């Protein structure tokens, strides 16, 4: 099992990167993939063509909301809190598809922090992930979310950058947090989004000391699909964005 997480500031293209990476990996015969949308904005499902509401699949936060306010089957009310949550997650919170499975932390509809849904998702991931060849995690943008340590170890971290100095500062802070809270990882890669120019890799390497692997090519279709809410899995194989990510992960050794 290979676990991969994408990090970066809001709007740099983390969700699109994870969706396109999933499309590439799903073409491998017999490859099983779990997508984890850890971002409360819940963009990943739409990007891969999954309508959780229409399919009546709950997010982790939906499960907690229903348990808290008693919106559950009467026979479950005698269960302990942990038993209720575990049962409902297993029954209603995992999308199972032909190309991938998906679970989402979701938007929390009550006051308070995301600590409880995050901890539940963390524990659930430990038991679930062993069934897959690849686990791809779309991380929230904020550094505070990284500090919650959704997972204690990953194989590859992909930091997605836009062409701003703020992105470099965010990258260094994110790396420091990941190191200080002792998330174990094997590789830390930096990828530029489509706004990067050919002149920018050298400043990235000089100012961060991290391994710059290339940039995601601009693709009008990706923008169009994102705006229309269409699945990136419907992109043609000659998509510039898809091909550029394919080159990057091929150079890494996927």
Superfamily of domain 2-249: P-loop containing nucleotide triphosphate hydrolases (3.40.50.300)
In this structure, of 98-102, 132-136, 178-182, 211-215, the range with the lowest mean pLDDT score is 178-182
Q: How far apart are CA 89 and CA 210, in angstroms?
A: 38
* pLDDT-based confidence at residue 143 (cuts at 50, 70, 90): very low
Q: What is the pTM of this model?
A: 0.88
Q: How far apart are CA 159 and CA 173, in angstroms?
A: 12
Domain ranges, ordered by start, for the chain:
2-249
Write the pLDDT tens digit of every residue in 47-79.
Answer: 999 999 899 999 988 888 888 788 888 888 888
CA 208 to chain centre: 23
Write the pLDDT tens digit of every residue in 148-157.
Answer: 556 678 899 9
Give me the mean pLDDT over the 89-107 stretch: 90
Give me the mean pLDDT over the 74-87 stretch: 84
């Amino acid at each position: 099992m290979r676990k991969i997480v994408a990090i970066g500031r809001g709007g740099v293209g983390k969700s699109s990167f994870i969706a396109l990476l999933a499309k590439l990996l799903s073409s491998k015969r017999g490859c099983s993939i779990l997508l984890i949308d850890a971002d409360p904005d819940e963009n990943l499902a739409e990007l891969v063509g999954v309508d959780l509401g229409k399919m009546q699949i709950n997010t982790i936060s939906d499960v907690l909301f229903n348990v808290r306010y008693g919106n559950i089957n009467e026979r479950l009310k005698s269960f302990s809190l942990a038993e209720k949550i575990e049962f409902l997650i297993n029954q209603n919170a995992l999308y199972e598809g032909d190309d991938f499975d998906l679970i989402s932390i979701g938007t929390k509809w009550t006051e308070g922090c995301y600590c409880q849904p995050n901890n539940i998702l963390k524990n659930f991931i430990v038991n679930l992930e062993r069934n897959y060849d690849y686990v791809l995690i779309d991380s929230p943008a904020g550094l505070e979310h990284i500090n919650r340590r959704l997972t204690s170890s990953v194989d590859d971290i992909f930091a997605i950058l836009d062409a701003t100095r703020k992105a470099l500062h965010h990258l260094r802070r994110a790396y420091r947090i990941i190191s200080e809270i002792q998330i174990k990882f094997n590789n830390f890669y930096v990828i530029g989004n489509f706004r990067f120019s050919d002149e920018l890799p050298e400043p990235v390497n000089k100012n961060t000391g991290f391994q710059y692997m290339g940039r995601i090519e601009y693709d009008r279709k990706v923008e169009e699909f994102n705006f229309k809410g269409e699945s990136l899995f419907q992109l043609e194989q000659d998509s510039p964005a898809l091909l550029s990510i394919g080159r990057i992960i091929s150079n890494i050794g996927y």
